[in-house]
Homo-oligomer: A and B are copies of this chain.
Amino acid sequence: MGEKVMNKQVILTNSVKGSLRESDMSLRTSTICLKIPDGCNGAVLVKNLYLSIDPYLILRMRKTPYLDAITPGSPIAGYGVSKVLDSSHPNYNEGDLVWGSQAGWEEYSLIKDPHNLIKIQDKDVPLSYYTGILGMPGMTAYAGFYEVCSPKKGETVFVSAASGAVGQIVGQFAKLLGCYVVGSAGSKAKVDLLKKKFGFDDAFNYKEETDYDAALKRYFREGIDIYFENVGGKMLEAVLDNMRVHGRIAVCGIVSQYTHEQPEGVHNLLTLITKRVRMQGFIVGEYYHLYPKFLEIVVPRVKEGKMTYIEDVDEGLESAPSALLGLYSGHNVGKKLVVVARE
């Protein structure tokens, strides 16, 4: 057994009811040995560098979680970029940089079953991008847009939460394909980003619109072919009323509802029939076989500056709880992440 070091952690204090509160998370200092313990064959021990702060996390903190539960009393864990300090798994070696969905909100994590850790090959891009455009959000945008939406050149695309981790990439994919794309976001600064930085054809601040239906009709006179759904609720209802015949809706998230005990109802599903709309939920985890193809498309464009990505970075593990809290109020501008350590 090696020497033990301090390991700061962010713990889930209790199951989350309704909105996330600061008291649902707490800081703790534990200790960890930086060698794989005996009997942990196949494990890796990592130092966490960048934590991905993602809206879906609240769904894992509920008493009856929609996805794999995060257990009260344990560190929160999610996507992140880490460095391998020790490995008893043949695929990973000391010094490897990896990303995956098992990065604890702690300085060091022992990952007993690292099968979904992906080794970072190309380090000629910002390492934090593997929490974003080159990681799960990038793959989510890719799978949701290309695989779920069946997009065609010239179609009209609407993206909600468009300046977020996924939305900004969906918009850029839509432009690459020759679609007309409009995004909604929650501030003037975000709307400016969409139009000036990400190349959306247009964008609007949903907080300034009293009538979403009228807003959508302003930008989509002929209706919407594709909706990349990130928010749910009233925006989804307005979009349904503005879909074109044979439209497609990729349901990626419905973040406006994640903090509700009882989500709002959607009242106009009849339009699914009258417009023959396909509405499909998806989870990025089923599309990682496409990751090499995705990197081939995105990495060169990132390097050439033809695709861009905005990050909203907080420093220090201690900032992770407030970073997550802020996400549900839209405080972030771009992909939210926390730097635990830079190397």
Contacts and interface: CB of A to CB of B under 8 A. Distances in A.
A292 interface: no
Contacts of A277: 280-281
Nearest to A266: B266
Given A264-B265, A280-B279, A257 B270 contact: yes
A92 B269 CA distance: 39
B267 A264 contact: yes
A283 B273 contact: yes
Contact of A272 (B251, B257, B265, B267): B251
B270 A254 contact: yes
A262 B273 CA distance: 17
Interface residues of A, number: 33
B276 A267 contact: no
Contacts of A282: 273, 276
A3 interface: no
A263 interface: yes
A333 to B, nearest CB: 25
A141 to B, nearest CB: 15
A269 B254 contact: yes
A277 B232 CA distance: 16
Question: Can you tell how many copies of this chain the complex includes?
Answer: 2
A38 interface: no
A276 B250 CA distance: 10
Contacts of A263: 267-270
A286 interface: yes
A277 B266 CA distance: 17
A271 B257 CA distance: 12
Interface string A49-76: 0000000000100000011000000000
A253 B272 CA distance: 10
Q: Which of A66, A269, A271, A286 has the most CB of B within 10 A?
A: A269
A197 interface: no
A252 interface: yes
A275 interface: yes
Interface string A217-244: 0000000000000001000100000000
A119 interface: no
Contact of A274 (B262, B264, B281): B281
Given A264-B267, A265-B265, A265-B267, A272 B279 contact: yes
Contacts of A253: 273
A278 B278 contact: yes
Contacts of A265: 264-267
Contacts of A286: 276
Contacts of A267: 262-266
Interface string A146-186: 00000000000000000000000000000000000000000
A246 to B, nearest CB: 9
Given A253-B273, A278-B281, A279-B280, 17 more contacts: A232-B270, A251-B272, A251-B273, A252-B273, A254-B270, A254-B273, A263-B270, A264-B265, A265-B267, A266-B267, A272-B280, A272-B281, A273-B283, A274-B283, A275-B281, A278-B279, A279-B279
